[in-house]
Structure 1
């Protein structure tokens, strides 16, 4: 599935949500889980789990709110979860790149999202998801592509977009973790043994340029979110991973903001969701 755009002319315990089963390898047994990695004024997941995840930590609990009759388990690499969560939600500190700690056929639904750049072996990831998914259950994977695209060629007006893409191409090579994973998603689902595999591709406009009012509103939100997060996405990749000249970073960042705000550019990014049933 794809979209075509038309553009305008111009109250509980603070830690009650964290799993505490001492028999599980996901249990918190050491203060080391609070040892975040700090770089360039920002906080990242601890080196205990990974030195290759280059985005700041975030999480949400919308799924548990939407499905109150289900038991929801969220995993992350760091204890950065909110204190107030729905009663049917708990969090565990775990690394999805390691063997999963749950028994076979445990979950009826597994949602995996935005791990591009942090997974070396996508086949292994989805094999574990398949093992832990109950027969008849579903696994869903959603991953973005960081490339700025346009159907009318207007992204060519801003060469800085190519620098942005090269940053992640080079970073992917250095880390050994792919950032452009849409084809890998589909291949890994099939290799793991899922049936009824389907894909859904979406275009997320950047800015309010689409003629469709709803898409224009989406674009304004995407633009605001992207501008707010650009430094978090790129700073560590630029200086720590690729080791590009530090004195050039601020110019790069300002140029990228300027390009995103250019009303003549009708850019978007793509997100692919892959679904599969066990």
Structure 2
């Protein structure tokens, strides 16, 4: 057996080990790199977020205009793999590669899809100028150096290829000022933002993607921002459905969203976290509180040639 094979077996063995804390399962490969769990409850929530994205975009898996016949697509931090699976079905002639720290993806997938265990913050081993689209979604809990990630994406993308980043801007707002002055939802954001900053994470990075892409040398940078309500209070029928799903995934997901950061980094006791989250859940369930986040889709193109 070659040393490369030995390293691969060691890696896959480590990736299949897990860390258990406060009743939740976390990734074992490079533990702590990603702050959220990877158990069944979190996987269900990730799939629901995919459904929300599809509702918001009216069924579009990506907004970057990559054409009808891309050859290679890379999905960074694929999670459950649901985006990669749907994308492989949409482009059956393309090779789709999806990477993540955790091997939690299904085994039965389209034949043109490959899942790989990888850390997006390490050096990418893909061939330069070999990929048509690099896609990354909902990774503000895991990426600490976005400019480096964009440079790596630019290196592996073909001339004319696209990078697309999708993220929630989770600073809450209220169009009719029904969010209380001492809002528990706002306190959730400010608390997690301060804690995350201590470990190099930026929870408000979504609004910075556009300028980051321009600084990285991408051209034709486009940013599309969608309302993401918490609750079914908007008038539009589709947005009512979006809001209902968003409220459910947030209320059900608060434990996974907050526990790792608040117990590991901030040093809170589990009891303190539970009491804090109970107040946030009450506010999210309050139909009199009209609160929303924003969902940012930002994409940019690698220049065809150096000017």
Matched, 1:266 2:265: no
- Structure 1 match to 2:116: 92
Q: CA deviation at 1:245?
A: 4.0
Q: 1:75 aligns with which of 99, 111, 121?
A: 99
1:23 and 1:128 map into 2 onto residues whose CA distance is 23
Q: Check the 8 A contact 2:26/2:36 in 1, yes or no.
A: yes
User: How many residues are matched?
Assistant: 256
Once the two structures are superposed, residues 182-216 of structure 1 have per-residue CA deviations (whole angstroms, 9 ceiling, x without a partner) of 24312221122111111111111111100111111
2:267 and 2:151 map into 1 onto residues whose CA distance is 34
1:63 and 1:126 map into 2 onto residues whose CA distance is 21
1:255 and 1:100 map into 2 onto residues whose CA distance is 42
Q: CA deviation at 1:37?
A: 2.2
Q: More helix by proportion, 1 or 2? A: 2
Q: 1:42 aligns with which of 24, 30, 55?
A: 24
2:171 and 2:218 map into 1 onto residues whose CA distance is 28
- Structure 1 match to 2:34: 53
Residue ranges of structure 2 left out of the alignment (5+ in a row): 39-78, 303-307
- Structure 1 match to 2:273: 249
Matched, 1:239 2:220: no
Q: 2:254 aligns with which of 230, 239, 243?
A: 230
The RMSD of aligned alpha carbons is 2.1
Give secondary structure in 1 for the equivalent of 2:180.
helix
Residue ranges of structure 1 left out of the alignment (5+ in a row): 1-21
2:17 and 2:284 map into 1 onto residues whose CA distance is 35
User: Which structure's relative contact order is higher, taking Cα pairs within 8 Å and 6+ residues apart?
Assistant: 1
Alignment TM-score, normalising by the size of structure 1? 0.86
Distance change >3 Å, CA 151–CA 227, structure 1 → 2? same
Once the two structures are superposed, residues 219-278 of structure 1 have per-residue CA deviations (whole angstroms, 9 ceiling, x without a partner) of 111111222211111111121121124332222122111101111111111111111111
Alignment TM-score, normalising by the size of structure 2? 0.78
Q: CA deviation at 1:40?
A: 1.5
2:183 and 2:296 map into 1 onto residues whose CA distance is 25
